[in-house]
Amino acid sequence: MLRMRSEKSAAPVSVGIVTEVLPESEDACAPEGVSSTVLSSTPADDPAASDDFDRAYRLLQRLANRWTFPILGRLQHQPMRFAKLKRSLQPISQRMLTLSLRHLERDGLVYRQEIPGQPPQVTYGLTPLGIALVTRLQDFELWLRAHEKLRAPPPKD
C-alpha cells in the first residue's frame, strides 16, 4: 500500500478508490489528535484494482455528461416513458437521450422496462444504485449551498 507520505515503493502503483484512516500514532503529518485520510494503492498489474479504477473513471465521465444530472433529476420521483422524458428535457435530441439512457443503463443507474403493445411502450426509472447516487448528489448540493459564502471570489482581470 502506498501512503501519501515518504514511503518508498519499487513496484509501479495506481491510485485506488478505497480510503482508510491512519491511526493517530502513524500519522506524523496531521495535527495532534487528528488523523488524515489517505488513498490506498495497489500494484499496477493487479487486474481487480485496475477494473475498479476504470469503472470509477467511466462513472465520473458519465456524470460529467451534460444530460446526466437532468435525466437523473427527472427520474428521481417516478419512472417515465421515453417520450415524456424527452419532452421534459428540451432541447435534447432523441439520439442524445437514447445514448445517455443506454450509458446510464449500462452503468447500472437506470433500468429500462419494455411494455408490449401497439406501439410498444418503454419506461425508464432509477435502479437502487441510481437512487443512492441521487441521494448523494442531493447531499452534495446541500453542502455546496451551506458553504457558498466560503467560496473564493472569482479572480479579477
**126 in the same domain as 94:** yes
- If asked whether residues 91 and 125 sit together in one domain, one would say yes
Do 52 and 103 belong to one domain?
A: no
Residues in the chain predicted with pLDDT less than 50, given as ranges, are 1-43
Residues 80, 108: one domain? yes
- The answer to whether residue 3 is domain-embedded is no
- One domain for residues 58 and 102: no
| pLDDT of amino acid 46 | 66
Q: How many domains does the chain have?
A: 2
* Structural domain includes residue 5: no
* Whole-number Å distance between alpha carbons of 127 and 9: 41
Predicted confidence at residue 25, as pLDDT, reads: 40
pLDDT at 128: 96
What is the C-alpha to C-alpha distance for residues 99 and 79, in angstroms, rounded to an integer? Answer: 18
Look up the domain containing 95 and give its range.
Answer: 66-148
**For the domain that residue 95 is a member of, what is the CATH number?**
1.10.10.10
* pLDDT score, position 93: 95
CB 123 within 8 A of CB 101: no
Whether 55 and 71 map to the same domain: the answer is no
**pLDDT tens, position by position, 133-145:** 999 989 988 998 8
Task: Determine which helix (DSSP H) or strand (DSSP E) holds 34, and give its type and residue range.
Answer: none
Cα–Cα distance, 75 to 109 (Å, whole number) = 11
Residues 100 and 114 in one domain: yes
Verify that 115 and 72 share a domain, yes or no. Answer: yes
Q: Say what the pLDDT of residue 65 is.
A: 85
Which cell numbers in the block locate residue 29? 503529518
Co-location of 59 and 78 in the same domain: no
Q: What is the pTM for the complete model shown?
A: 0.60
Beta bridge pairs of residue 14: 42
- Tens digits of per-residue pLDDT, 103-124? 999 989 999 999 899 888 999 9
46 and 102 together in one domain:
no
